[in-house]
Amino acid sequence: MLDNMGWMEFVLGVLTLVLGTGWLFTYRSYRRKAKGEAAQSEAEGWKAMQDVYEETIDDLKQSCEYIRNDRNLLREENTKLREENNMLRDKYNELEKQIIELRKELARQGRKLESVLPFACGVAGCTNRRRVEIQTYDEPTILTDTIKENEQ
């Protein structure tokens, strides 16, 4: 059996073996180093993912800016086209009013011509020709009075 002194030597021998070779300290430092490297690798992975996300965000911002610029350009063109359309519509309405006025004037001239034709002589050397004055009267009684005067 081991006596007190033997027992102490045995424990000191084991402790010297474990502590003297530094196995415990080496093991702990190796574990810390491995954990540190794992954390570093994980951090680098997260950094790479963050870089990809930032590039994606930049690409989306550029796409959105392009779309906004295109939209604004289309709005400006649409506004110009509406203004041009309104201007053309106004011009069309003005020309349509002029056409209506010209048709009225043509009808009035036609009525004048119809009232003069009975007094016109088609023979070039006719001595009974008289100068016909064209007057504008809206009332039919004045027109009949003028016809009666010319017949006499």
Domain containing 60 equals 20-118
3-state secondary structure the chain: CCCHHHHHHHHHHHHHHHHHHCHHHHHHHHHHHHHHHHHHHHHHHHHHHHHHHHHHHHHHHHHHHHHHHHHHHHHHHHHHHHHHHHHHHHHHHHHHHHHHHHHHHHHHHHHHHHHHHHHCCCCCCCCCCCCCCCCCCCCHHHHHHHHHHHHC
In a domain, 10, yes or no: no
Q: pLDDT band at 28, cuts 50/70/90?
A: confident
In a domain, 40, yes or no: yes
pLDDT in tens, 69-94: 999 999 999 999 999 999 999 999 99
pLDDT in tens, 104-137: 999 999 888 887 776 666 666 777 766 656 566 5
In a domain, 130, yes or no: no
In a domain, 146, yes or no: no
pTM above 0.95, yes or no: no
How many separate domains does the chain show? 1
